[in-house]
Each structure stands twice: as C-alpha cells, then as structure tokens.
Amino acid sequence: MPDKLEIIAGQDVLKAGGAKRSLPSAWRNLAEVSVVFALIMATVWTPQGRWNALFSLSAAACVVGFAIAGRWGSREMGLTRPWPGIGQIFLVGLLLCGLIWVVGLTLRSASPTYPIPWNRSWQYAIWAVVQQFILQSIFFVRLESTFRSRRAVLFTTGLYTIAHIPNLLLTVLSFFGGLIFCELFRRWRNLFPIGIIHAALGLTIACSFADKWLHHMRVGIGYLTLR
C-alpha cells in the first residue's frame, strides 16, 4: 500500500502498512545520514592536513554518536547474529571474487596491477568491516525506516557509489557491490561476513585490474593527485 499522510491528534504521522512513524523521526533519520555522508565526502575531497583530520574525526564521532543514540538495537544493526545466512553470503563472495579474477585475467596485459602490501592487508579488512558498519548500521537502517527496504537498498547503494567518484572502475564496481551488500544485509542482518567478503573483493580487485585504472584504489582527491 502506498504511504499516506494522516493527521492524528493534531500531529503529522507517516502511515505505511499500518505502521506509524512520526515525520520528525523520518527527518531525523535523513539528517543523520546527510551529516555523516557530508563529512565523509569532505574527508575524501580534502587534501591531507588539518582540515582533513578534522572532517575525518568529526565523521567518526558522528558515526559512533548516532549508533549509540539511535533507536536500533545491536541485533537490528547486524552485530549480534554471526551465523544467519553466513553460508550464502560467503558463497556469493566466492563467486564474485572468481568472476572478478577471470575478468581481470583477460585484461592483465593492460599494465601492472597494484602491488598490494599483503603484510598490512589485515588493516584493509578492518576498514572494510568499518565501511559496512557505516553503510548498513548507520545508513541502511535509517533509510529503511524512512523509505522501506527495497528503496533503502537503492538509496544506500547510491550513496556508496557516489563516495567512489571519480575512480570510474571502482564507481561502477561499487554500484553492483553496494546492491549486493545491502541486499545481503536486508535478508540476513549479519554485518561481519559481509565485511569479510567486502575485504576479499577489494583485494581481488586490486590484484586483478591495472593500477592505471585503480590509482592504488583511491577515490576523491586522492585519485586525482596520485602521481
């Protein structure tokens, strides 16, 4: 049933399928998503220095603060159920890594790939889980509460895709990856295996495609300034 506005006791509420959500709550959801995303984009597009550090720390503080103050529990944020869908999630990740490797193999002659510092790959794995926490436990749950699940998958994917501009290859891959990540989270609410396959996919992309396209997997101003 399409969402419709009703006036109940002089207060606007949003009614969707019988579930009532206050308009102030919906605006708060969108405001929190907007603040975090704006700070992330400011970090991505600001050169290294005082302002970059300020934006980065502000984004981290908002993520932590909104996660604690939000009305979603740890289960809804995908933090306390490590087993549901784990087999299906890892299978999807394995198939995608295989597909990327095969495609990259056909393009391997284009130029050298990024020389991954494997001894520090665990740092990237942690960062991948953090990205998924921001994407799912901050963005998706708020957009889902405001727009419902299917639209939330698309809107969250859109934010994830924009964050990878102007790296064309990563932007395209992030669109499809974002759809898959968000749909897996929507189905199983299990953050950690999604973070793991995110890390595996990122490392597979880095060692499969020419670095002249990836620019060390950088986005934003880092992509443009890398020499």
The β-bridge relationship of strands 19-22 and 4-8 is unpaired
Mean pLDDT of 175-190: 97
pLDDT in tens, 113-145: 888 888 889 999 999 999 999 999 999 999 999
Total tally of structural domains belonging to the chain: 1
111 pLDDT higher than 50: yes
Q: Is the Cβ–Cβ distance between 175 and 130 less than 8 Å?
A: no
pLDDT in tens, 25-69: 999 999 999 999 999 999 999 999 999 999 999 999 999 999 999
What are the CA-CA distances from residue 109 to residues 60, 103, 113, 116, 215 (Å)?
Answer: 40, 12, 10, 18, 17
| Mean confidence (pLDDT) of the chain | 89
Q: Tell me the whole-structure pTM to 2 decimals.
A: 0.88
Q: How far apart are CA 169 and CA 218, in angstroms?
A: 11
Q: How far apart are CA 87 and CA 74, in angstroms?
A: 21
Q: How far apart are CA 226 and CA 222, in angstroms?
A: 6
Mean pLDDT of 86-113: 93
Domain that holds residue 38: 4-225
Looking at residue 116, its pLDDT comes to 87
Looking at residue 22, its pLDDT comes to 64
Query: Please, which pLDDT band fits residue 221 given cuts at 50, 70 and 90?
Result: very high
Q: How far apart are CA 127 and CA 157, in angstroms?
A: 18
121-139 CB burial, b ≥16 within 10 A, e <16: eeebbeebbebbbbbbbbb
